[in-house]
Structures are given as C-alpha cells and as structure tokens.
Amino acid sequence: MTYMRVFFFALISIISSTALAENAVGKITAIDEEAETITLDNGKKYVLSSEFDFTAFEPGTRVQIIYDEADKVRYVMDIEELPE
C-alpha cells in the first residue's frame, strides 16, 4: 500500500509540472516572415512554424493565439481570426 501512495504522488507531481498551452488575444501589429514571428498589440512576439501561410493574416487583424512557451520563447500552436 505504501508503494501505491508513493507512485500516486510521484505521478501527480509529474502531471502537475508539465507545461500547459497558453493563449493570447489581440491585434497583429507586425508580421516578420524572415524571422517567422508575429507581434501582437501586447508587445509580445510569437514564433510561427515555417509552414505558416503569412498571407492569411495582416496587421490589424484581431486573433487568438494558442502557444507553448519554452526558454522565454512563445511557439504558436494555433492561430485563428476573431471578429472585431
């Protein structure tokens, strides 16, 4: 029974320490195709995948970004246009 408790608490610790995706909502202020980044009106940059269609969005578009952060870099997992 003691081993089960130790296993249970170890499992909970691992699950609770995994990173969860975060989101941001705002207007695009800049798109840098060369650096593969997008900047929102909150001043933060988000890194896009190399397969991203840079013609799909333009500055001024209101979006929601789902991203993961690693080493203070925000990697876009999903982006969708929102109504004004």
The ranges assigned to domains in the chain are: 21-81
pLDDT at position 4 over 90? no
Give the per-residue pLDDT at 19.
55
Cβ neighbors of 80 (< 8 A, separation 6 or more) are 63, 64
pLDDT given for residue 37 in this prediction: 95
pLDDT for the residue numbered 68: 92
| Over residues 55-65, mean pLDDT | 94
CA 28, distance to chain mean position in Å, is: 15
User: What is the C-alpha to C-alpha distance for residues 14 and 11, in angstroms, rounded to an integer?
Assistant: 5
- Range from 34-38, 50-54, 62-66 carrying the lowest mean pLDDT: 50-54
Cα distance between residue 36 and residue 32, in whole Å: 6
CATH class in words for 21-81: mainly beta
**Is pLDDT above 70 for 52?**
yes
Q: What is the mean pLDDT of the chain?
A: 83
